[in-house]
Amino acid sequence: MASQPPPPPPKPPEDRMERFASLLGACQRKVFLYIMALVHNPIDAEEILQETNLVLWRKFDQYRPGTDFVQWACRVAYYEVLKYREKKAHQEHLFSSDFLERFADEVEQFLQETDLRREALSGCMEKLRPQDRQLLWQRYQPDSSTRSVAEALGRSVQGARKSLHRIRMSLLECIRRTLAQQTR
């Protein structure tokens, strides 16, 4: 009778905490925005986010590595929103539970699409001519305007406006093509 190898030793708690902290830190903004979309009140959303974080930590052993942590966290947040709504049952609700569930699914999908769009934008920006990237970069600096960029480059405001419009339309089309290729 062959003996089975001993099971691997459990991972040290520090490793578990570091993995959790890393995953949680990377998704906090998205989970908060998800909750905000469901409750429309930043104070309530913060409270629900804190409860969600506690539940995520308690249930972290149930998370399957390699799966989408944001999606898992949003699902936990959804149930925390439902619990919060139950606690606040004496207050008027704007949405039914059925609507809230459907809306939560839509928001979750939107958050996933946002990541894909951001990645597509990054790739499309790399495809731009260097002078077009530079023009966009200058235009979107704090306190920058099309007029200030045009003056700095010695161009007419109308010319800069047209160039920016052409670049934006080019980026939009590139993003659409990229996303269409990803869904095939």
Q: Give a yes or no: residue 9 inside a domain.
A: no
| One domain, residues 19 and 81 | yes
Q: Are 49 and 55 in contact (CB under 8 A)?
A: no
Alpha-carbon distances, residue 44 vs 52, 82, 90, 99, 101 (angstroms)? 12, 12, 15, 19, 18
| One domain, residues 117 and 56 | no
Q: Give a yes or no: residue 2 inside a domain.
A: no
pLDDT tens-digit profile of 24-39? Answer: 888 899 999 999 998 8
CATH number of the domain encompassing residue 110: 1.10.10
**Nearest Cα to Cα of residue 55 among 36, 33, 82, 29:** 82
Q: How confident is the model at residue 158 (pLDDT cuts 50, 70, 90)?
A: very high
On average, the pLDDT of the chain sits at: 85
| One domain, residues 140 and 160 | yes
Burial 80-116 (b: 16+ CB within 10 A, else e): bbeebbeeeeeeeeeeeeeebeeebeebbeebeeeee
Alpha-carbon distances, residue 6 vs 15, 46, 56, 88 (angstroms)? 21, 44, 30, 50
Whole domain around residue 53: which residue ranges? 15-93
Provide the CA 114 distance to its chain's centre, in angstroms: 6
pLDDT tens-digit profile of 99-156? Answer: 778 878 888 878 778 888 888 888 999 999 999 988 888 888 888 888 998 998 898 9
User: What is the domain count for the chain?
Assistant: 2
Question: Which pTM does this prediction carry?
Answer: 0.51
97, two tokens: 């539970």
